[in-house]
Structures are given as C-alpha cells and as structure tokens.
A = this chain, B = another copy of it.
Amino acid sequence: MSELRKDPILDHWVIIAAERGRRPTDFKSDAPPDTSQSCPFCGDNEHMTPPEICAVCGPGREPNTAGWDVRVVPNKFAALAIEGDLQRSGIGLLDKMGGIGAHEVVIETPDHRAVFCELPREHLVKVLDTFVDRVVDLRSDKRFRHIIIFRNYGSAAGASLAHPHSQIIALPIVPKFVSEKLRAAREHYHRKERCIFCDLIEQEMAMPERVVCRNEHFVVLSVFAARFPFEVNIFPLQHQHDFVLMSPEQRQSLADILADILARYRTILDDPAYNLMLQTSPSTLPKPGHPEYWGTIEYDYHWHIELIPRLTKVAGFEWGTGFYINPVSPEQAAGFLREDAEAQGAGDG
C-alpha cells in the first residue's frame, strides 16, 4: 500500500506509491503513449479495466459491456487505496499516514482516436456531468477532504495512454497549494467582504489585454503572473464556489469554451501536450476552530480551471526557488490566442 509523507521542513505532503519490481533503469525510457489495438480504454475492451464505477449509456446496457458514451473505472495503478484507515503516525520529525483515497479514470469516449475538443457539445456535457456526479459521490466519504480532477494530454504532460481520459483523485488532506488559495481568498473576503477572484475577473475584463475569449457564462484569461507560456485560467463569470453547482446552461457554456480554448491551443500551438486542472472548493467543512475550517467559503472562493500547455522544461532554478521564468508575456500569449481565432474565423467564413 502507498503512504503519505510530510516534508519536515516545507510541510507539503507526497504520495510514496512504490511499484513492485521496478528497476532504477526502468525509468529512463521515454516511450510515447501506447497507440496499439489493445488499449484498455477502447470500446469492446471493457474486460481490460477493473469493474466500472459508473457509465453514461443508453437504457438496458449491462455494466462492463460496450455501448457507453463515458465510463468511469478505478485506476488500475492507483496511487491511493480506497480501503483502509489513515493510521497517522510519526517518528521524531517525520510524519506519515496510510495512502487512503480514491483514484479513478474517466474514459471520455470509447473512440481511441477522438480528439477531446472536437467531441460534440452534448458529449462534452456528458463528460462534465460525470465529473460532477463522481465528485458528489466521493464527497459522501467523510475521509476525503479534497477532490481534484485533471486531464493530462500528451506524453510531455505525463499521459501514459493516448485514449482520451481524465483522472479524479480524492485526498485525505487539503493539499498545501489548494490551502494557500483558500486562505488567500478567505483573507481577502474578511478584509473586503468581496471574492478576490470576482475582483480579479472584473479588473481583467476592464482592461482586456489578457482576455482570450468569453461566452455567456465563462471567460478565459491569460494568467497575469503565468509560470508557463500560454497558461490560461477559465473562470465562471458569476460568483460560484463549487463547480457541482453549475446549472445545465452553465455546463453547456463550459463545454463550448473548453472546446474553444483547446481548439486554439491545437491550432496555434501545434497540438501541444497540456495539463488541465479543475480547482473547486474542498469536500468537507471541518468544524469552526479547525485550521481548515472554511466558514465563508460560499462567499470567498471561486472555482476555476487551470490550463498549462507543456512547451518549456522545468529546470533547476524553478525547482530551487519556486520562481518561474516565462519566455512569453501573458499579453503576447493572449494576443496570439485571440488573433489566430480571428484569422481562422476569416478563413472558415
């Protein structure tokens, strides 16, 4: 079983998920994602995955058979185990706990060669609905404090399979990076009684040099202090702390804007590898007095999606300082991402 360990100086946690029988030199291979016929995520290969958790499908389908649109299965190589208890323990300065959590795969289509951003809108909405359903279900397990949904596309972004899929991880603690966001949002709210994200969105839309695109419910912003070239965030325009609260109209609107920005990446950045992370409020609210009591979270937090194309390498300076060097200005990036859309529009029209 895996283990969670806390860095005694920096207070962040890591998951030690040692894979049996792996030799030191096994890590060296830089093989591209598997594209063979025997993909476990393809339609008709349902027997190759662990038994499914749920699926979006027509009526009368038997579980683990073909005929689904979206299918959720446990990750075969899960970093965390759903069964067991936390067993918090410490040796002197060192803290650890059992690797308890959930690690699921959302197979977004049975079609291996489908391109996520080119799926029909109604299909993308089914994927978003599945994200919501899984998060709601996982939150009923009181051991889980935070759930993250992410999508790795391309081997440079850490994807090991080419078949379109996302992953969901439920964690027994709120990660440091998320806590910092929650804390900053709470502090701003306590000072101003306003949401810091709403303030930021308003400011950005008033001087639109970093606005990439928008629709009725969402805006895509080129990040002011972007760590990576062409890094963008997608925000709901209306204040909303938790993505499970999205209305059906918002879900359609999100499907549209996701397809839009990913299509821009694909065209303008030549189909780059990317990571997509959905940041929403944590699962459970510890009681008042607990350092993780987010009492005003409904008012102070604002869910969003982070998108990072993986165009540059992270090097010693970044690892050693947490400082990033970004070779493209966010305004220039927004310009490129906007311009080409215009050019495309002109070409198509």
Interface residues on A, range: 35 or more
Taking a contact as CB atoms under 8 Å apart, the answer to whether A13 and B92 are in contact is no
- How would residues 142 to 171 of chain A score, 1 for a CB under 8 Å from any chain B CB and 0 otherwise? 000010101110011111000000010101
Given A226-B14, A268-B24, A326-B14, A9 and B148 contact (CB-CB distance below 8 Å): no
Taking a contact as CB atoms under 8 Å apart, the answer to whether B322 and A200 are in contact is no
Q: A336 on the interface (CB 8 Å rule)?
A: yes
Cβ contacts under 8 Å, A313 to chain B: 155-158
Cβ contacts under 8 Å, A11 to chain B: 180, 184
Task: Please report the C-alpha to C-alpha distance between residue A279 and residue B9 in the assembled complex, in whole angstroms.
Answer: 13
Taking a contact as CB atoms under 8 Å apart, the answer to whether A322 and B12 are in contact is yes
Q: Using a CB-CB cutoff of 8 Å, which residues 306-335 of chain A contact chain B?
A: 306, 308, 311-317, 319-330, 332
Cβ contacts under 8 Å, A279 to chain B: 320
Cross-interface CB contact of A320 among B18, B197, B277, B315, cutoff 8 Å: B277
Which 4 A-B pairs give the minimum distances between C-beta atoms? A158-B315, A150-B316, A177-B322, A277-B320
Seed contacts A14-B227, A15-B324, A16-B330; 18 additional CB < 8 Å A-B pairs: A3-B329, A5-B225, A9-B180, A9-B181, A15-B325, A17-B327, A18-B328, A27-B229, A28-B269, A79-B325, A92-B199, A148-B317, A157-B316, A158-B314, A176-B323, A275-B315, A275-B316, A308-B319
